[in-house]
Amino acid sequence: MAEAIRHFNCDPIITRRQMLQRCGTGFGSMGLASLMASQGLLKETNAAPAHQSPMAPKKSHFPAKAKHIIHIFLNGGASQVDTFDPKPALAKYAGKMLPSKNLRTERKTGAALPSPFKFKKYGESGLEVSELFSELGECVDDIAFVRSMYTNVPNHEPSLMMMNCGDLIQPRPSMGAWVTYGLGTENQNLPGFVVMCPGGYPITESANWRSAFLPGAYQGTHIDTKHTDIEKLISNIKNKKLSLPEQRLQLDLLQALNRKHQSVRAQESALESRIQSFELAYRMQMQASDVFDIKQEPKHIHEMYGSGVHARQLMIARRLVERGVRYVQLWHGAGQPWDNHDEIEKGHRNLANQCARPIAALLKDLKQRGLLQDTIVMCGGEFGRTPVVELPTPGANAGKMNGRDHNNHGFTVWLAGGGVKGGQAYGATDEFGFAAVENKVHVHDLQATVLKLLGFDHERLTYRFAGRDFRLTDVHGKVVDELIA
């Protein structure tokens, strides 16, 4: 291998873009270096800094309450008035127009549509939860329901980008990318940011977990959890032609050549990301098969989670954080399953039957293992739904009037564990559940609060790009301290 490297000639030619960049800034850099040297601000050294993986564990700004996040995404927009925000006033106006004018939504809406589901009080806190998530009732004293969430627009694509990346349109790093950029990860043999979505991709696909201008090492790794076979879950996880020692020799040669190539191309983040991806792929062969193999779980754990794809992926999520993975995001499925423009009762009941029990099991399982205290569990969609019926629209609700339109004015997201003050409903929507009116929480406020739980000042977790310091919360965001224990 050494002989091969010795005869490898790295091409010293730079690209036109690099030449222009260096010509434009080189003389200024020389002048700055001279000025700093005259002031004694430069220290000469011959020692190059040792290379460190971008995913190595890092310290936060201040002591953190949480180390990990499990983000359960009910993509499509679950209805707050049918799940976690009871509104008995809707029954009074059933089939009638609300006394207050309907707020602007994506499509035309009509009369009040009461929830077909019953709510019940649970726990010492007496918080009300819909029958759809009755299993979650046993966990309410650990949960903070944020009933006053709001976002900017009632459309899926921009709202997904806002919830995941902090911006409606512009390409920005996802929250998982920001978290792994700030903290690294505890397990170098697994991705720091894992995304599970059974059946394919949600709307806007991988943009939901991209790294954008952050180094590529921080992008989420997508797993299609409809599969149970490890070789279908993770493509090319096994090398059927070379043994691990042989792969190590091959990889050492490749990495040495890449490092030599990189030595005259400093700051090439794409090349560094490629180098790291090769290393991670090699190491994953030793641990991925283990972490995704839920057959190792005892019978009583399988019985607690139940059966089905959501039971499986939530169990995997616990196994991932147990092994030090920093950020795990679970989507309900491809597209936007919770987008029930019609048949709200049938659709929501079916979806909740798939995930309510496993979600409750996850909270109980984390708690019994001592993992909930340093793991934030966050659950919600990109927005909520209207408390009034959506009027028939060609191609949308097939002429039926038993569903709800998108609602960005008020919805619910809940948090548990990781320093969250449970047993509370923070904020409120109006009496019909249309708009947040009390202690309003914008998506940026939620993101700022989660970052604080992880030990970060959201205004200081920044990355310099295109002449500006960017952050997850852009120029917004206020920490909701009432949600922190």
Q: What domains appear along the chain, each with residue ranges and CATH number?
A: 68-233+297-483 (3.40.720)
Tokens representing 285 are 């062969």
Going through 276-383 in order, the beta strands assigned E by DSSP cover 327-331, 375-380
Contact 113, 91 (CB under 8 A): no
Residue 27 C-alpha from the chain's centroid: 43
Query: Which range among 45-59, 324-338, 377-391 shows the weakest confidence by mean pLDDT?
Result: 45-59
Residue 209 C-alpha from the chain's centroid: 7
Tokens representing 192 are 């720091």
Q: Which single residue is written with the structure tokens 């709307």? A: 203
Read off the pLDDT of each residue in 43-67 and give the average, rounded to a whole number: 73
Query: Which range among 154-158, 184-188, 434-438 shows the weakest confidence by mean pLDDT?
Result: 184-188
Reply yes or no on whether the pLDDT at 90 is more than 50: yes
Instruction: Give the Cβ contact number of residue 257 at 10 Å.
Output: 15
Read off the pLDDT of each residue in 374-396 and give the average, rounded to a whole number: 93
Q: How confident is the model at residue 55 (pLDDT cuts 50, 70, 90)?
A: confident
Query: Which range among 46-60, 263-277, 316-330 shows the weakest confidence by mean pLDDT?
Result: 263-277
pLDDT tens track for 172-197:
999 999 999 999 999 888 899 999 99
Contact 75, 338 (CB under 8 A): yes
The pLDDT value recorded for residue 245 is: 74
The pLDDT value recorded for residue 257 is: 74
Contact 461, 453 (CB under 8 A): no
| Angle 152-156-161 from CA coordinates, rounded to 5° | 65
Question: How many whole angstroms separate alpha carbon 364 and alpha carbon 136?
Answer: 10
Read off the pLDDT of each residue in 163-172 and give the average, rounded to a whole number: 94
Read off the pLDDT of each residue in 288-300 and give the average, rounded to a whole number: 90
The pLDDT value recorded for residue 186 is: 93
The pLDDT value recorded for residue 44 is: 39
Q: Identify the bridge partners of residue 335 per DSSP, sorted by sequence position.
A: 202
The pLDDT value recorded for residue 288 is: 73
Q: How confident is the model at residue 273 (pLDDT cuts 50, 70, 90)?
A: low
Query: Which range among 62-71, 234-243, 427-436, 463-472 shows the weakest confidence by mean pLDDT?
Result: 234-243
- Which DSSP category does 374 fall into? G
pLDDT tens track for 364-383:
999 999 999 999 999 999 99
- Residue by residue, DSSP assigns 33-74 as HHHHHHTT------PPPPP--TTS----SS--S-SEEEEEE-
Q: How confident is the model at residue 38 (pLDDT cuts 50, 70, 90)?
A: very low
The pLDDT value recorded for residue 189 is: 85
Q: What is the identity of the amino acid at 60? A: S
- Total number of residues shown for the chain: 485
Reply yes or no on whether the pLDDT at 3 is more than 90: no
The pLDDT value recorded for residue 393 is: 79
